[in-house]
Amino acid sequence: MRILLCTLVVLSITARPVRANPAENDAAMVRLATQSGCTACHSVLPLPRRTDGLPPVAPAWRDIALKYRDDAGASERLTRTVMTGSDPQARHWAGRAGAVTMPPNADAVSESDARMLVNWILVLVR
């Protein structure tokens, strides 16, 4: 028991968590989103209507963060949406984003990376 306690004390003193500053974290998340194809449809900030008068293809991440900021289950639900795609019958972005549904992305991003991206998106307005 004493050895375990000593080991924990030594580890707590010598181990330093790796922490990126917010700008580094934002850059890493944008890079991951770009590599995963997310930025083909999404943007960080809201975009104006397209030249044809239609809304942007997909909601901006800031708008997603605003919509789900008080939803405790948002992280899990949105991660599942990223992985499996959105319901074609659900039109919860009607008028603010195009009518195209989100395709499944399990072949483009791992579930853990998708969860990281979703959690980053959800704190964009906090």
Q: Is residue 88 part of a domain?
A: yes
Q: Is residue 95 part of a domain?
A: yes
Give the tens place of pLDDT for each residue, 67-103: 999 999 999 999 999 999 998 888 888 889 988 899 9
DSSP secondary structure letter of residue 24 = H
Tally of domains in the chain: 1
**Could you give the CA distance from residue 80 to residue 51 in angstroms, rounded to a whole number?**
32
The CATH number given to whatever domain includes residue 115 is: 1.10.760.10
Q: Is residue 7 part of a domain?
A: no
If we measure between CA atoms, which residue out of 50, 51, 58 comes closest to residue 33? 58
Give the tens place of pLDDT for each residue, 17-42: 445 688 899 999 999 999 999 999 99
DSSP letters for 67-108: HHTT-TTHHHHHHHHHHH---TT--TTBTTB-SPPPPP-TTT
Query: What is the value of pTM for the model shown?
Result: 0.80
Domain that holds residue 42: 24-122
CA-based Rg of the chain, rounded to a whole angstrom? 19
